[in-house]
Structure 1
Amino acid sequence: MKNDYEILGVSAGANLKEIKLAYHQKLREFRCHSHPEEFMAVRQAYESLRRGERNKKGDFFNPGPMRGKIQEELVESLGERVRSKVALSIEELIELTF
């Protein structure tokens, strides 16, 4: 699988100006209607390099996907507590609403 630099055809030490130039050249080479997969790969590679490694790893405003294990017992107990608090009859709901 190619990395972002290889997709754009630039060296790993390329600056942003070189990356942008290569990006525009690749967009002319791979038009969106005739080469949709290549077009999307070029766009994603450019966005990734433009944002830099900071956003790939995640930062305060863009944390990325969370990884963790859900405790099923806790979810079930919370669900029971919510259902017990929300259990209303239609008459009670009408009284509370109006």
Structure 2
Amino acid sequence: MTSNIITIDTALSATSYHAAAAAASSASELVHISGQPGTNINGEVPDDYISQIELALLNLRKVILISGCKVEVILSLRFYIVGFWSR
């Protein structure tokens, strides 16, 4: 059985160590997206959590659209927020 993994890269992938997403084949209807950083195009991280979360979700949206999918068909999301506490 041959492996037919297709990586999906974005402009941010060049500054990262991993592909933004991967699909099993070009005809696949399932795309696995890796963790998206809360950074801007220059790799800068804002000081506040809200801006970081907004950027992470915008980066996620970019990967979804580049992979040919739609935001409306997201199956699952998982958030990992380090150092956050409820006020």
Q: Taking structure 1 as the reference length, what is the TM-score of the superposition?
A: 0.30
Structure showing greater radius of gyration is 1
Larger helix share, 1 or 2: 1
Q: Taking structure 2 as the reference length, what is the TM-score of the superposition?
A: 0.33
Larger strand share, 1 or 2: 2
